[in-house]
Amino acid sequence: MITFESVTKRYPGGTVAVDALDLEIPDGQTMVLVGPSGCGKTTSLRMINRLIDPSEGRIMLDGTDISTVEAPRLRRGIGYVIQQAGLFPHRTIEDNIATVPLLEGWNKAKARDRARELMDLVGLDANMARRYPYQLSGGQQQRVGVARALAADPPVLLMDEPFSAVDPIVRSSLQDELIRLQNELHKTVVLVTHDVEEAIKVGDQVAVFYPHGKIAQLDTPQHLLGSPADEYVENFLGFDRGIRRLAFFSAGQLDLETGTVLAADTTVEAARAAAQRCGEPWVLVTDGGNRQPQGWFAVSDLDRQPDRETLGSLSLPLAPLGHTFQVGRDSLRAALDATVLSRTGRAAGVDGDGRVVGITTYERLRAAIQTAEQAGLDGNPDQPAFREGRTTPEAQQAGADDAAEPAGEGVRPS
């Protein structure tokens, strides 16, 4: 646990970068400090590893005032990742990663083994070990930066705008990687960013800063989106927070339409009857054996087809399936996206093996959103929210009967 106790940082010249900051950063979680440029995020972060000393107040790490610990010893337990990775240009990738282990006196072979292990962990190909930083893309360099910070297996990881210098697609995949790493390693991560989208995505807790080194709101992403403390936070979050909040509810809450999920050997007559029973203008055709979705027929088109023909034998083209969503894994937002993007205004929810579970409709989405909003308002704030890509006990449960890959395949550091 890292605790800021009324910490102030005044720079020469009088700028108050951080103003009487109180903050508790629990172990094993990702705490994101987010706010506009110049609000004191970097200063706050760099006080944790004593690159900057507070003017007033103190910072405790696991109950010890860090000002009483020699900086080099303190930093051995704290990995540090910065925006442009900050790699040594004349050292190979493996030597960059092995920097701290070598400083700690590991022999070269052991340090290199450790470097290889970490490359695997952060998703870097082993054949990059002997290359130099300039031979890697920005995203790959950033992975090296993370590997280097993790090399001595420190319990704390500080990250200052770690993904800000790479393009949006790479940024998004690095964020996914961080979430995956955290599922596995459970470090105490303090991450600084100006990007609220990133904060919401990777943070277990998010501290939104006012311009002058004071916290406007400290909350879980879900509660931040659900109840911003004031107009400043609300504006900072942006105007689509209603939709973004749906990312915190599982698509498993949907009551899906199943009456119009029809195997290819269903007759046209039976399909029409099913659609009528359900009041649905579309039916979803699946391949009979394993319920994999194929595409849609409009009921109005079926009216012109012979009763006895089966859906699979019609020469009528299927309307494209569109995106599906996975019921035990994806969020209500993913289900909504898939539905909105679909030509039929419907989307197929599938299980881990791609078999159809049921169909969304706007009506059913609306009902699930209403229930979710209600649950969000009444919900226990201490109960961890549903997060896409996170391992929670429920997600593990839901994934238990999937053949899907287990979370995290990297090598666990020794």
Residues that bind Mg ion (CB under 5 A): 42
Whichever of 43 and 324 has its CB closer to ligand ADP, that residue is 43
Whichever of 4 and 296 has its CB closer to ligand ADP, that residue is 4
What residue type is 372 in one-letter code? Answer: A
The H or E element spanning position 398 is: helix 393-399
Query: Which of Mg ion, ligand ADP, none does residue 39 bind to, with CB < 5 to 8 Å depending on kind?
Result: ligand ADP
Whichever of 39 and 115 has its CB closer to ligand ADP, that residue is 39
Do 340 and 276 contact (CB within 8 A), yes or no?
Answer: no
Residue 193 token pair: 């960013």
In whole angstroms, the minimum distance from the beta carbon of 40 to Mg ion comes to 8
Whichever of 196 and 356 has its CB closer to Mg ion, that residue is 196
Residue 401 token pair: 């009967």
In whole angstroms, the minimum distance from the beta carbon of 4 to ligand ADP comes to 14
What residue type is 97 in one-letter code? Answer: I
Query: Which of Mg ion, ligand ADP, none does residue 96 bind to, with CB < 5 to 8 Å depending on kind?
Result: none
Whichever of 203 and 226 has its CB closer to Mg ion, that residue is 203
Query: Which of ligand ADP, Mg ion, none does residue 362 bind to, with CB < 5 to 8 Å depending on kind?
Result: none
Do 189 and 29 contact (CB within 8 A), yes or no?
Answer: yes
Residue 322 token pair: 């569109």
In whole angstroms, the minimum distance from the beta carbon of 41 to Mg ion comes to 5
User: Distance between CA atoms of 28 and 187, rounded to whole angstroms?
Assistant: 5
DSSP state of 408: -
In whole angstroms, the minimum distance from the beta carbon of 164 to Mg ion comes to 9
What residue type is 336 in one-letter code? Answer: L
The pairing of strands 348-350 and 325-326 is parallel
In whole angstroms, the minimum distance from the beta carbon of 407 to ligand ADP comes to 32
User: Distance between CA atoms of 351 and 328, rounded to whole angstroms?
Assistant: 7
The H or E element spanning position 373 is: helix 362-378
- The Cβ of residue 127 has, within 10 Å, a number of other Cβ atoms equal to 8
In whole angstroms, the minimum distance from the beta carbon of 11 to Mg ion comes to 14
The H or E element spanning position 139 is: helix 138-150
Whichever of 34 and 332 has its CB closer to ligand ADP, that residue is 34
Do 341 and 322 contact (CB within 8 A), yes or no?
Answer: yes
Residues of this chain that bind ligand ADP (CB under 6 A): 11, 13, 15, 17, 35, 37-43
Query: Which of Mg ion, ligand ADP, none does residue 15 bind to, with CB < 5 to 8 Å depending on kind?
Result: ligand ADP
Whichever of 39 and 347 has its CB closer to ligand ADP, that residue is 39
- The Cβ of residue 134 has, within 10 Å, a number of other Cβ atoms equal to 9
User: Distance between CA atoms of 374 and 377, rounded to whole angstroms?
Assistant: 5
Whichever of 192 and 285 has its CB closer to ligand ADP, that residue is 192
Residue 334 token pair: 């993913």
Query: Which of ligand ADP, Mg ion, none does residue 162 bind to, with CB < 5 to 8 Å depending on kind?
Result: none
Query: Which of ligand ADP, Mg ion, none does residue 315 bind to, with CB < 5 to 8 Å depending on kind?
Result: none
In whole angstroms, the minimum distance from the beta carbon of 339 to Mg ion comes to 39
Sign of CA dihedral 192, 194, 199, 205: positive
Query: Which of ligand ADP, Mg ion, none does residue 40 bind to, with CB < 5 to 8 Å depending on kind?
Result: ligand ADP
In whole angstroms, the minimum distance from the beta carbon of 68 to ligand ADP comes to 24
CB-closest chain residue to Mg ion: 42
Whichever of 41 and 171 has its CB closer to ligand ADP, that residue is 41
Which residues, listed in sequence order, are joined to residue 25 by a DSSP beta bridge? 2
Do 220 and 47 contact (CB within 8 A), yes or no?
Answer: no
Query: Which of Mg ion, ligand ADP, none does residue 187 bind to, with CB < 5 to 8 Å depending on kind?
Result: none
In whole angstroms, the minimum distance from the beta carbon of 41 to ligand ADP comes to 3
Query: Which of ligand ADP, Mg ion, none does residue 123 bind to, with CB < 5 to 8 Å depending on kind?
Result: none
Do 109 and 137 contact (CB within 8 A), yes or no?
Answer: no
